[in-house]
Structure 1
Amino acid sequence: MNDLTPHRSPLRSTGVQVTLGLVAGLALGMLLSRETSPSAFTTAFMPVLDTIGTAWINAVRMTVIPLVVPLLIVGVAGGEDLRATGTVGAKAFGWMLLLLVACAALSTIVSPLWFDTLTLDAEATARLRATAKIDVPTADALSIRTFILSLIPLNPVKAAADGTLLPVVLFTLLYAFALGQVGDGPRVAQLAFWRGMADTMLVVVRWMLALGGLGIFALAAVLGQKLGANVLGAIGFYFMVNIVLHLIAVVAIYVFIAVNGRVPVRQFLRALVPASVVGMGTRSSLASLPAMVKGATDVLALPPTATGFVLPLCASVFKLTSAIYWPVGALFIAKLYGIDLSTANLLLVSASSIVLNFSTPGIPSGGMLLQVPLYASIGLPVEGIGILIALDTLPDMFKTLLNVTSDMMVAVMTTAQGGGAERAPVG
């Protein structure tokens, strides 16, 4: 009777579709980039792909706030013990800090050894330096005062409309903890509404992910056409160091999951494939959040605390990649401008990547612009930040991959029962 059993085609898998879209899009884009002058086809076709890709990103991002808010409220107020939720948050922060220190140590130790082998062509570096243009924000835009005040929105609805997730998350947490203090009647009624909204939004997320193959293909084609296939010299070296270090960190997380055994590593991989590919295609861990929630729920069977609290919290404030690319970027700019970056200054950059990780300002390229005063204090040219921003497209794909992987690891380590998601709970 086995021959009568329907077999689902692998091509219907979301993970397979978005992976094929990524590969095919990059191949097409790099092929078109070889044209000495854009053909009529390229001139007409690329704007269409750009529109399709941007529309798909917007469609995914529009689900983030409506999904995060009910998940947070249900995850916090729906728990039996609010103190337990606070304990989970403290554990999540501890794992974030541990991962940051480990990645900063990796980057600080390994990167200088690689950059010592780099010899740059004087003419090529002169041309590259000539492209360094940056609009440096005012000091107040990057100050601690501005960051703290930005966390308390005058209008939470406007903050949600503007897509500034962290203030929305903090307001939602405040609301959820307050809801946990009201009577059973109002609390149960509201929780029923928010659960219904969360379930509905998960359906919308599945619809958006079903279009992921097309959306990723369009985004990857535009990316490949801009980058081209020939990335040489200093840029190629910078890409190599950045990408390899991020991949080492990703592999280390998978090895840790395999050794720890809280969830089977194959399930962990299967849960992360759609979110990882969406993240690499969109270069946004926030855009990957709906897919992460789906994988954590459907594949890993993590509790609501993980999907409604830990994952949204990590996606909002945790950027593990800064611990890697801040030291790499500083070494690259120092090499580019012929500056000897001392060990003390490199350690200062690494420490800053940890301390300032949770305070990235809500402005374009905020993670890199946050380094402007740091560069000025250690004698690196501030205009070098402009080069890093210009070169961030390809490495950013792997940065997002690491962020997504580390977010899921924190969720597993703070909420999963030992022995794996499909096994009976221990004890």
Structure 2
Amino acid sequence: AGNIPQTPPLSEWLGAFIPANPFKAAADGAMASLVVFALIFSLAVSRLDAARRDLLVTVFDGVQAAMMVIVRWVLVLAPAGVFLLALTVGARTGFGAVGLLGHYVVIVSLMCLMAGALGVIAALAGGRTPARDLAGAMVPVGAMAISTQSSLACLPVMLAACTRLGIPERVSGLVLPMGVALFRITSPAGNLAVALYVAHLYGVPLAPAQVAAGVLVAALVSLAAVGVASSVTFFTTLVPIFMSLGLPMELLPLLLAVETFPDFSRTLGNVAGHVGVTAWAARWRRADAA
């Protein structure tokens, strides 16, 4: 029982979503509280006169463009870092780790694809989107997801796919950026799969209460993660989950060496979830309008 983390009171948990200092929240990667501040700030900006509002929009559009350049730099440099790590790990462990890593890639990839399938179901059943139209719109999104391994980089293509599906820009322009910034459906599923895989390898028994705590931590950590390649955020998203479950972390550098492969499934699942939920939200809007 001593390994089960104590959850904070509800009032304290809700208060954490309102940042006392938004710049500190940005520096700490507290994406949830940062999104809350952004929503309040945008409401305040909407009350300004047109000249000041347009000036702020121009400034933040420039900031967004600069951040996308930084994301492209990270995507270019990250494979080189992962390759060097894989080279070092491979020289140290030899072929003995091939089977272990192969099982890891398959298990985590399947878990992420299953999570992404929920997004497809949301679009087909919840949004009543024709399967042929959805498949056609998702082809360029999937190609971008595989090539960049970043749901953030896929945002423009997802917006175009939603337009092709007839989703109003007012809906996609709100739901997609919030989804990319705040929640990625494969993050909790994939990260918890990594933790359970390591627990199985080390023979660490996990009580149902511990697994429930791990699910909660995985969901909360996903709120603070950035929508870039998971090899960049690998340790920052997994270490809190491993700590909550009391798992050893010695295997994480070895798993990072092959994280590029399950990351394909992570990003594919994320973009499917984002577009699927957006299609569902568009149907809600049409029902309300009717």
Instruction: Give the TM-score taking structure 2 as reference length.
Output: 0.66
What's 2:142 paired with?
Answer: 276
What's 1:350 paired with?
Answer: 215
- After superposition, the C-alpha distances for 1:233-292 in whole angstroms (9 at most, x for unaligned) are 121111111112222333343244223453323333333332332222222211212222
| 2:178 corresponds to 1:313 | yes
What's 1:290 paired with?
Answer: 156
Residues 426/343 of structure 1: CA separation in 2 closer, same or farther (3 Å cut): closer
Find the partner of 1:332 among 174, 193, 197: 197
d(CA) in 2 for partners of 1:357, 1:162? 14
* Aligned counterparts, 1:10-409, within 5 A: 152=19, 154=21, 169-180=35-46, 182=47, 186-189=48-51, 232-296=98-162, 298-360=163-225, 364=233, 365-376=235-246, 380-409=247-276
**What amino acid maps onto 2:269 in structure 1?**
L
Shift, 1:414, TM fit: 1.8
- After superposition, the C-alpha distances for 1:30-82 in whole angstroms (9 at most, x for unaligned) are xxxxxxxxxxxxxxxxxxxxxxxxxxxxxxxxxxxxxxxxxxxxxxxxxxxxx
Question: Could you tell me whether the CA contact under 8 Å between 2:32 and 2:223 is conserved in 1?
Answer: no
**What amino acid maps onto 2:196 in structure 1?**
L
Question: Could you tell me whether the CA contact under 8 Å between 2:137 and 2:164 is conserved in 1?
Answer: yes
Residues 160/289 of structure 1: CA separation in 2 closer, same or farther (3 Å cut): farther
Identity score, percent: 25
Residues 227/288 of structure 1: CA separation in 2 closer, same or farther (3 Å cut): farther
d(CA) in 1 for partners of 2:161, 2:60? 15
**What amino acid maps onto 1:329 in structure 2?**
V
Number of matched pairs: 263
Question: Could you tell me whether the CA contact under 8 Å between 1:152 and 1:167 is conserved in 2?
Answer: yes
- After superposition, the C-alpha distances for 1:195-227 in whole angstroms (9 at most, x for unaligned) are 88999999x8xxx9xxx9xxx999989989997
**What amino acid maps onto 2:275 in structure 1?**
M
Shift, 1:178, TM fit: 1.6
**What amino acid maps onto 2:44 in structure 1?**
A
**What amino acid maps onto 2:192 in structure 1?**
P
d(CA) in 2 for partners of 1:324, 1:251? 12
What's 1:415 paired with?
Answer: 282
CA RMSD of aligned residues (A): 4.7
d(CA) in 2 for partners of 1:219, 1:356? 21
d(CA) in 2 for partners of 1:159, 1:295? 32
Question: Could you tell me whether the CA contact under 8 Å between 2:191 and 2:237 is conserved in 1?
Answer: no
What's 1:67 paired with?
Answer: none
Shift, 1:400, TM fit: 1.4
Residues 199/369 of structure 1: CA separation in 2 closer, same or farther (3 Å cut): closer
Residues 227/373 of structure 1: CA separation in 2 closer, same or farther (3 Å cut): closer
Question: Could you tell me whether the CA contact under 8 Å between 1:254 and 1:265 is conserved in 2?
Answer: no
Residues 381/163 of structure 1: CA separation in 2 closer, same or farther (3 Å cut): closer
d(CA) in 2 for partners of 1:394, 1:327? 17
Question: Could you tell me whether the CA contact under 8 Å between 1:272 and 1:295 is conserved in 2?
Answer: yes
- After superposition, the C-alpha distances for 1:313-370 in whole angstroms (9 at most, x for unaligned) are 1111102113322332122212322333444433432343235442449994321122
Deviates more, 1:346-355 or 1:358-367: 358-367
Residues 256/306 of structure 1: CA separation in 2 closer, same or farther (3 Å cut): closer
Residues 360/163 of structure 1: CA separation in 2 closer, same or farther (3 Å cut): closer
Question: Could you tell me whether the CA contact under 8 Å between 1:246 and 1:402 is conserved in 2?
Answer: yes
- After superposition, the C-alpha distances for 1:4-24 in whole angstroms (9 at most, x for unaligned) are xxxxxxxxxxxxxxxxxxxxx
Question: Could you tell me whether the CA contact under 8 Å between 1:219 and 1:282 is conserved in 2?
Answer: no
d(CA) in 1 for partners of 2:17, 2:210? 30
Shift, 1:299, TM fit: 0.8
Deviates more, 1:335-344 or 1:397-406: 335-344
Shift, 1:307, TM fit: 3.0
